[in-house]
């Protein structure tokens, strides 16, 4: 025996009431109980309140703006130079007027971190402008961020392409490119090479910072996250590689014009972007134009990374306390408070000795061993505690298929093993930081750096100890409870379809006059 039942579709009030009447115990049942609200409606309402991307392009551009940052322009090319032909650095380093003038007069950098100096008010105004722009870029969540990235994420690519074409057409560019690409295979035995490679991957891809997780959380549940990962990884690596051509082709031109080896014109870290490259630009025709385009590219790269990092922090706080910050303008006030606090914390880096403090943050707090340490625990939690097979089930539920099994073994063995090896190498072969390979920090300066590093790394073991102490039972029972995944994580996609849900392909659809679906007729078979 076969019976037909019409299931109204749509998001309107009539459709919602009709769905409620069809639910067990609803108004349409003989029991006369109160209508049962569809849990999917509650979930859709929560998603609407939280926010979501309007389309896939906004998400891709937001992630691209985060992972394509300043590290692709100054960090990756320099690391290639350092670990390829960089062994000659320091052999012939003369003192020219231009770097001295830039450091002492233009940048006003002091002799060391001991001489903090005065605050540069013009830089303070620039930082204020940056945080003001950052605030208005994210104050409405994905509604504002999704529109801003159309400019901030695409403009750097256009500028990078223009600078690349201009750079490779300069005389001497080929020598700079050869220097950039020349491999020194003997350096592979140096642990520092692997440390630099590992930290660059984490720094460039924003891994273990929460940024990618926060951006991805605004996607639809069935978004193909596996395909996005592959695509964005290729995009990031390709951009870094192309940026090296754009940078070192110009440095090769500068070495050609001065008649000196390229090792003498290359700078490390920010010096590559703010000293060496601008100096090379002054030797080019229409130098003001190229300098303007280059620094505009740097500004957009920095702004993208800045507001995405703030957005990830705001997302985490709001998701932890939704009843507090999803009311009125509390989310906007939270962003304002974070922006103001970050601005005042950043003022210390705008003093005459601020560059030395910036290098401490960059080398100890923001990248390197901290991210490696966090990555090891993340892999252990996902691969072993939560379970790689369970995580694969979640991915299959979202995208409809299981990724290659190789990725599962990377989570469980390969990635944590490599991260642990690099982390141990870093500790064994640790060399104190030197600013521009010349200035040695005082002992208390290194102490501040290690305190910043430990402030993030110690949070994991400290929180483990707190949870173990608060959990009742013997130690084995506590560990068993804390390492057992929660059972209330329900599937929402293909694997989580309830018996009442049916596919449109197995049903008859009734259409309105305009072609839209009015209802689906489900055929139920009774035995």
Would you state the pLDDT for residue 40? 54
Task: Tell whether 429 and 317 lie within a shared domain.
Answer: no
Binding-site residues for Na(+) sit at 204, 236, 301, 304-305
Domain contains 33: no
DSSP structure string for 163-208: HHHHHHTSTTHHHHHHHHH---GGGGG-HHHHHHHHHHHHHHHTTT
Binding-site residues sit at 204, 236, 301, 304-305
Would you state the pLDDT for residue 164? 87
Domain contains 6: no
Domain contains 30: no
Task: Tell whether 118 and 243 lie within a shared domain.
Answer: yes
Domain contains 506: no
State whether residue 217 is helix, strand or coil: coil
Would you state the pLDDT for residue 427? 84
Task: Tell whether 130 and 206 lie within a shared domain.
Answer: yes
Q: Which two tokens stand for residue 135?
A: 């605030």
Domain contains 511: no
Task: Tell whether 179 and 69 lie within a shared domain.
Answer: yes
Q: Which of 319, 351, 383 is the last residue of a domain?
A: 351
Query: What's the whole-model pTM score?
Result: 0.74
The pLDDT tens digits for 421-433 are: 888 888 887 888 8
Cα 209 to Cα 430: distance, rounded to the nearest angstrom: 23
Would you state the pLDDT for residue 267? 59
The pLDDT tens digits for 444-488 are: 999 999 999 998 899 999 999 999 999 998 998 998 888 888 776
Would you state the pLDDT for residue 268? 54
Cα 389 to Cα 382: distance, rounded to the nearest angstrom: 10
Would you state the pLDDT for residue 308? 87
Task: Tell whether 319 and 382 lie within a shared domain.
Answer: no
Domain contains 25: no
Would you state the pLDDT for residue 106? 58
Would you state the pLDDT for residue 100? 56
End-to-end CA distance of the chain: 7
Task: Tell whether 346 and 383 lie within a shared domain.
Answer: no
Would you state the pLDDT for residue 133? 92
Q: Which of 324, 351, 378 is the last residue of a domain?
A: 351
Would you state the pLDDT for residue 79? 74
Domain contains 37: no
Would you state the pLDDT for residue 519? 52
Domain contains 521: no
Would you state the pLDDT for residue 488? 67
- Taking 50 as the pLDDT cut, the residues of the chain under it are 1-34, 85-97, 498-506, 508-511, 520-527
The conformation of residue 290, written as its DSSP 8-state character, comes to H
Nearest to 467, CA basis, from 484, 452, 454, 450: 484
Q: Are strands 508-511 and 517-525 parallel, antiparallel or unpaired?
A: antiparallel
Count of structural domains within the chain? 2
Q: Which two tokens stand for residue 390?
A: 């369970």
Task: Tell whether 173 and 218 lie within a shared domain.
Answer: yes
Would you state the pLDDT for residue 23? 45
Q: Are 385 and 480 in contact, with CB atoms under 8 Å apart? A: no
Task: Tell whether 334 and 408 lie within a shared domain.
Answer: no
Task: Tell whether 72 and 126 lie within a shared domain.
Answer: yes
Task: Tell whether 256 and 305 lie within a shared domain.
Answer: yes
Cα 483 to Cα 442: distance, rounded to the nearest angstrom: 43
Q: Are 69 and 63 in contact, with CB atoms under 8 Å apart? A: no
Task: Tell whether 378 and 257 lie within a shared domain.
Answer: no
Task: Tell whether 145 and 194 lie within a shared domain.
Answer: yes
Beta carbons within 8 Å of 461's beta carbon, 6+ residues apart: none
Range of the structural domain that residue 300 is part of: 51-87+99-351
The helix/strand count (H/E) of the chain reads as: 26, 5
Q: Measure Cα distances from 283 to 161, 170, 175, 222, 333 in Å.
A: 20, 11, 17, 52, 47
């Amino acid at each position: 025996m076969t019976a037909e039942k019409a299931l109204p579709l749509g998001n309107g009030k009539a459709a919602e009431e009709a769905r409620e009447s069809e639910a067990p115990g609803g108004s349409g049942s003989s029991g006369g109980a109160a209508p049962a609200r569809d849990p999917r409606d509650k979930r859709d309402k929560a998603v609407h309140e939280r926010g979501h991307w309007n389309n896939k392009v906004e998400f891709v551009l937001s992630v691209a703006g985060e992972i394509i940052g300043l590290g692709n322009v100054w960090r990756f090319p320099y690391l290639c130079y350092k670990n390829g032909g960089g062994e000659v650095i320091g052999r012939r380093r003369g003192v020219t007027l231009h770097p001295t003038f830039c450091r002492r007069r233009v940048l006003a950098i002091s002799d060391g971190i001991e001489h903090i100096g005065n605050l540069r008010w013009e830089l303070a105004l620039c930082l204020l402008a940056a945080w003001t722009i950052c605030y208005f870029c994210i104050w409405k969540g994905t509604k504002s961020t999704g529109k801003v990235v159309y400019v901030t994420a695409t403009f750097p690519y256009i500028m990078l392409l223009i600078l690349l074409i201009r750079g490779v057409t300069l005389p001497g560019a080929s020598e700079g490119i050869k220097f950039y690409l020349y491999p020194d295979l003997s350096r592979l035995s140096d642990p520092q090479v692997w440390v630099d490679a590992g930290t660059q991957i984490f720094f460039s891809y924003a891994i273990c910072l929460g940024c990618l997780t926060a951006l991805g959380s605004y996607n639809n549940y069935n978004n193909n996250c596996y395909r996005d990962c592959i695509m964005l990884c290729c995009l990031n690596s390709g951009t870094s590689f192309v940026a090296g051509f754009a940078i070192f082709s110009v440095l090769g031109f500068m070495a050609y014009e001065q008649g000196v080896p390229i090792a003498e014109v290359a700078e490390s870290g920010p010096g590559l972007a703010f000293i060496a490259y601008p100096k090379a630009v002054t030797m080019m025709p229409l130098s003001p134009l190229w300098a303007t385009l280059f620094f505009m590219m740097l500004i957009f790269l920095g702004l993208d990374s800045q507001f995405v990092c703030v957005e990830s922090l705001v997302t985490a706080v709001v998701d932890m306390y939704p009843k507090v910050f999803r009311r009125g303008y509390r989310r906007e006030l939270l962003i304002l408070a974070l922006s103001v606090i970050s601005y005042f914390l950043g003022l210390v880096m705008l003093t005459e000795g601020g560059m030395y403090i910036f290098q401490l943050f960059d080398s100890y707090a923001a990248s390197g061993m901290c991210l490696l340490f966090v990555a090891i625990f993340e892999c252990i939690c996902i691969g072993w505690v939560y379970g790689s097979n369970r995580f694969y089930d979640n991915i299959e539920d979202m995208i409809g298929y299981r990724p290659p099994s190789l990725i599962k073994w990377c989570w469980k063995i390969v990635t944590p093993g490599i991260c642990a090896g690099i982390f141990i190498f870093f500790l064994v072969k640790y060399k104190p930081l030197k600013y521009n390979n010349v200035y040695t920090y005082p002992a208390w300066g290194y102490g501040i750096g290690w305190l910043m590093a430990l402030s993030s790394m110690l949070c994991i073991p400290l929180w483990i100890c707190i949870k173990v102490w608060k959990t009742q039972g013997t130690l084995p029972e506590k560990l068993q409870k804390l390492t057992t995944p929660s059972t209330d994580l329900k599937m929402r996609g293909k694997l989580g379809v309830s018996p009442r849900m049916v596919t449109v392909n197995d049903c008859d659809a009734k259409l309105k006059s305009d072609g839209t679906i009015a209802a689906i007729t489900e055929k139920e078979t009774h035995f």
